Amino acid sequence: MKINHESTDSIPSSPMQPPADSHPGNPFVDLRVAITGGTSGLGLALVGELLNRGARVAFVARRREGVEQVGHRLPDAHGIVGDVSRKEDIHPITMQIVGALGGLDVLINNASDLGPIPLKLLGDTECEDFGRAVATNVFGPFRLTKALLGSLAASAREGRGAVVVNVSSDAALNAYPRWGAYGASKAALLHLSRIWDEELSQEGVRILSIDPGDMDTPMHAAAVPDADTSTLKPPEVAARELADAVAAVLSRRPIVQEAFA
């Protein structure tokens, strides 16, 4: 089986990206990208990074205030208020993404829920906290990707490439005590990514699971309040690495199987 769980730790960091217009090989120019959880941490860094690389970007976040603040700072990005853990929000979010961008080439399912804060042993974890983590980390990416699959497959048929990135964690693979709700839900997302990638390869749609590594983000601070932040990766560096990983996949994308081949 093909494993798509790529840790960007293994991808060498590149220096600051030159502007898009001096980079003819940049696959992000005019690419239509949507990012969930786009107002803080890695998501916010990705919005900035992909705009810099020439992409057209829509971002989603729960709080209107946060969406408006980011929209004010980055007026080229299209901000959408919505909660991916709510079934009722998925189609309104989808409609705004595809309506604003006119289609979609790359979806980055970045919004995540830690489960109980502070982190707890599984035996002490409330079902509701676990349920919220699964709703955000598994059902959210599943529903949003499913609703956007028509657009992604159309993009693949038109030769633009179609990539979904599900942001993962080493907690999806390793059994860290007190990370039960988060780790189990991220493990489910990882396996969903692997199966879906197998199923969609013939449609030309790639589903990647990428672990950006430990980052200095509000989520990390909530999980490990006393961490030494000097040992953590700045989210801007993780965003650059993740964008490079997507660029690599886009540049070696398979041609959609021709019916008449």
3 state SS for 30-79: CCEEEEECCCCHHHHHHHHHHHHCCCEEEEEECCHHHHHHHHHHCCCCEE
Q: Looking at beta carbons only, is 192 or 219 nearer to other proteins?
A: 192
Q: Looking at beta carbons only, is 39 or 169 nearer to other proteins?
A: 39
**Whole-number minimum distance, CB 200 to other proteins, in Å?**
8
Q: Pairing mode, if any, of strands 205-211 and 78-81? A: unpaired
Element (DSSP H or E) covering residue 206: strand 205-211
Residues making contact with other proteins (CB under 8 A)? 78-81, 90-96, 98-100, 102-103, 147, 149-151, 153-154, 157-159, 199, 202-203, 257, 259-260
**Whole-number minimum distance, CB 14 to other proteins, in Å?**
33
The answer to whether 90 and 144 have CB atoms below 8 angstroms apart is yes
What is the DSSP secondary structure assignment for residue 161, as one 8-state letter?
A: -
Q: Looking at beta carbons only, is 126 or 158 nearer to other proteins?
A: 158
**Whole-number minimum distance, CB 197 to other proteins, in Å?**
14
**Whole-number minimum distance, CB 98 to other proteins, in Å?**
6
Letter for the amino acid at 117?
Answer: I
Letter for the amino acid at 128?
Answer: E
Q: Looking at beta carbons only, is 29 or 147 nearer to other proteins?
A: 147
**Whole-number minimum distance, CB 204 to other proteins, in Å?**
11
The answer to whether 111 and 60 have CB atoms below 8 angstroms apart is yes
- The span from the CA of 116 to the CA of 132, in Å, is 9
Q: Is 185 helix (H, G, I), strand (E, B) or coil?
A: helix
**Whole-number minimum distance, CB 180 to other proteins, in Å?**
32
Q: How many CA atoms lie within 13 A of 95 on its CB side?
A: 7
Tell me the sheet residues that pair with 164: 107, 207
In a 10 Å sphere around its CB, with 0-12 CB exposed, 13-18 middle and 19+ buried, how is residue 9 labelled? middle
Q: Looking at beta carbons only, is 80 or 239 nearer to other proteins?
A: 80
**Whole-number minimum distance, CB 20 to other proteins, in Å?**
23
Q: Looking at beta carbons only, is 95 or 227 nearer to other proteins?
A: 95
Q: Looking at beta carbons only, is 76 or 126 nearer to other proteins?
A: 76
